[in-house]
A = this chain, B = another copy of it.
Amino acid sequence: MKFVDKSCEEFVQELASKAAVPGGGGAAALVGAIGAALGSMVCNLTSGKKKYAQYEEDIQRILAKANEMKQDLLKMVDDDAENFLPLSKAYGMPAGTEEEKRIKEETMEMALKKACQVPVDIVKTSYNAIKLHAELVDKGSRLAISDVGVGVQCLRAALLGGMLNVTININAIKDKE
């Protein structure tokens, strides 16, 4: 079962447990999806309103992009869990003999690189979604201005959360190329 198909309550409870996934990466992706969704919501609350008719075309463009980013970030919740599992298994590998140590080290290197992939995408997508929200400050309904702000804060948390996950894994990688 995909994590995004679990109820919000279940997701939060499994996140709180010691289970390997979901972890900080999946949490960041979901918080990013919530942020992008708030951008879509502001577009949906603005579209069709006389007062904002001059921005209708912009609003439709922003809505299409925000929807796409929302879907991308939702997908990253499960992609991150999938990419993190090999690392979680590698941590538990034996390292008693020289041969075991060598195999563990090689496996860790590959797993660490894999674990960075989705967090990098979380950072990129959240950054782009924040730029979309900046446009909504001027073109979105004034009644929903606080929602633009909440959206940006969620996306900022997702961006920094993704960055922390890249950093902790990159620091552990020995191959600095």
Contacts and interface: CB of A to CB of B under 8 A. Distances in A.
A31 B32 CA distance: 10
Given A15-B41, A16-B44, A146 B24 contact: yes
A6 B6 CA distance: 8
A86 to B, nearest CB: 16
Interface residues of A, number: 52
Contact of A154 (B3, B16, B27, B147): B27
Contacts of A91: 143
A70 B30 CA distance: 16
Given A5-B9, A74-B9, A146-B164, A41 B18 contact: yes
Contact of A27 (B4, B13, B17, B34): B34
Contacts of A37: 12-13, 15-16, 27
Given A7-B5, A12-B34, A33-B12, A149 B160 contact: yes
A38 B9 contact: no
A49 to B, nearest CB: 11
Contacts of A157: 31, 150, 153-154, 156-157
Contact of A31 (B3, B23, B34): B34
A45 interface: yes
Contacts of A127: none
Contact of A24 (B5, B66, B150, B168): B150
A8 B30 contact: yes
Given A8-B74, A149-B164, 14 more contacts: A4-B9, A7-B8, A8-B33, A15-B38, A24-B147, A27-B37, A31-B154, A146-B165, A146-B167, A150-B161, A150-B164, A154-B161, A156-B157, A157-B157
